[in-house]
Amino acid sequence: MRTAVFRKANFNSAHRLHNPQLDDKTNEALFGLCNNPNYHGHNYDLIVKLIGEINPQTGYVFDMKILNDIIKEEIIERFDHKNLNMDTVEFKNLNPTAENIARIIYELLRSKIEVKYELEITLYETPRNYVVYPVK
């Protein structure tokens, strides 16, 4: 009876990809437009996947209203309309790549969702670039 349920969400954030240990030229070569010194924005699409047993009493795997509230409180309020590098503690010293953002989102949600549920994060940075964390 294990079933996957999904909730989609969206947030807009600014970022700059930059490794302070590398020189400007190398950073530009590595990160291209995402290295723009004055930052730039992305429209991030988030898909949160939970896997669990169907509760016979409710017929639900997880109450989607509660999942939506957790995503709102932990992710949207923290990152939406923020400059990830400047406005968040999570990315003060961590390059805000889609990979790292997905991992941080996973950790933030993992701490609020019982371990009996499997959790997987899909994060679209652009319609054609997306990452999945964790990978089994």
* Cα–Cα dist 21/27, whole Å: 9
End-to-end, the C-alpha distance of the chain in Å comes to 20
The reply to whether 46 sits near Ni ion by the rule CB under 5 A is: no
**Stretch in the footprint of Ni ion (CB under 5 A) among 31-39, 49-57, 76-84, 105-113:** 31-39
Beta bridge partners of 50: 5, 119
Residue 34 among the catalytic residues = yes
| Comparison of 36 and 68: residue with beta carbon closer to Ni ion | 36
| Comparison of 34 and 108: residue with beta carbon closer to Ni ion | 34
The DSSP H or E segment spanning 20 is none
* Cα–Cα dist 121/6, whole Å: 10
**Stretch in the footprint of Ni ion (CB under 5 A) among 1-9, 32-40, 61-69, 97-105:** 32-40
The reply to whether 34 sits near Ni ion by the rule CB under 5 A is: yes
* Cα–Cα dist 59/56, whole Å: 5
Please pick, among 18, 34, 74, 120, the residue that the annotation labels catalytic: 34
| Comparison of 34 and 61: residue with beta carbon closer to Ni ion | 34
The reply to whether 123 sits near Ni ion by the rule CB under 5 A is: no
Beta bridge partners of 43: 12
Residue 81 among the catalytic residues = yes
Residue 40 among the catalytic residues = no
- Closest CA relative to residue 119, chosen from 61, 57, 40: 61
Interface with Ni ion by CB under 5 A: which residues?
34
Residues belonging to the active site: 34, 81, 125
